[in-house]
Amino acid sequence: MAARHSEQFLREQLNRQDFLRKHPVQIAGISCMDGRTKLSAIFGLRFGFIRRQWRTLAGVVDLGAPRFRASVDNWRSYAKQNDQDSLVFVSYHYSGRNDAQLGCRGHHHNKDRALAAALKIYEQFVRVYGETMPCPVVIGIDTDFETVYVHDQKGSIIDASSFVNQPEADIVECLAGGFPSMPKTVLEVLALAVKGNAVHTSGLKAAKRPIEEAQHHEYALVVGEGMWTEPNSAIVVGPYTLDFGESIGVAAGLLSDNFDKGRANGNDPVLLSCAVFRDSEIARRGAIEEARCFLDYSQQVIAKQVPDFAKRLIYHASVLDLNNRLVELV
């Protein structure tokens, strides 16, 4: 799977370069570790167009946590060095039909609590970076049909699915009223994402997607900063809070529950640690050490918190080259 997605990433490199020439904006996202919150799929964007997705328990991150702040600053610097603007989606999720069972477990299936956490992260971004570099945008995701709801700067909530038949120019005009400080280049990219979600969610609704398909089906736990490309197949926990170990333990418990209830679609349980690098062999060697450190730490946490499931897991350490998205087991 990793080799296939690396090939896809490289195959579409010219498309990404063309996109960035027309729309010089780096896109990132913050989301729950939940496997149903894969933003590129939800927005109908091709693999690699969202350059970073920070994922952890309940989507709760903290710019005061050194690792997360460093990762965001690295992404911002990359955008500035390439004369590009930046857009970060701050997401929360819930189930419109059955939030008590299919909502965000990290927020105890409470939509209001999930929204409050996303707004807190948004406010933190504004305090640290202002509203334009990057431009933070809060979005709610109803995972039943993967519909996105955009919270604008004036307090309105915009249903992306309402734009399914609208041209992008009209969407830009509509969004501009709610984001008065947002650069036009970023508005255009936001409009593309909104339009992509409108098409995506309308397809799921037209197919009358059953509620069972919106259930958890993850079989893998990814710990670190890697990219897992298949929606609803992995819980991803990034090192972006000071209670990183607690998040790993909760994630392992959720994964164990999937296997206990037969929701893993016949797959074996996997724990994959992952660290990323770019450009140099020294960076690669450092990433290898980091991935092995993540793996050792995860094994210790899970052995204490979910000991029976720890014995069932298949463990691997890996590194990911950001230039080609190739994953290497180490």
What single-letter DSSP state applies at residue 136?
Answer: E
Write out the two tokens for 84. 């590009």
Mean pLDDT of the chain: 89
pLDDT the model gives residue 132: 81
Give the mean pLDDT of 74-89.
94
pTM of the model: 0.89
At 181, the amino acid letter reads S
Higher pLDDT residue, 86 or 99?
86
Tell me the pLDDT band of 179, cut-offs 50, 70 and 90. very high
**pLDDT tens for residues 18-56?**
888 999 999 999 998 777 778 888 998 876 678 888 988
Say if residue 141's pLDDT is above 90. yes
**pLDDT tens for residues 220-277?**
999 998 666 677 778 889 999 888 899 999 999 989 988 988 888 788 999 999 999 9
Spatial distance between the Cα atoms of 296 and 299, rounded to a whole number of angstroms: 5
CATH numbers and ranges of domains, the chain: 2-212 (3.40.1050), 216-329 (3.30.1330.140)
Tell me the pLDDT band of 325, cut-offs 50, 70 and 90. confident
pLDDT the model gives residue 29: 95
**pLDDT tens for residues 264-319?**
878 899 999 999 998 889 999 999 999 999 999 999 999 999 999 999 999 999 99
Mutual angle of helices 168-178 and 184-206, in 10-degree steps: 120
Dihedral of CA atoms 326, 196, 59, 151 in degrees, nearest 10, equals 150
Name 326's Cβ contacts closer than 8 Å, sequence gap at least 6: 2, 3, 6, 320
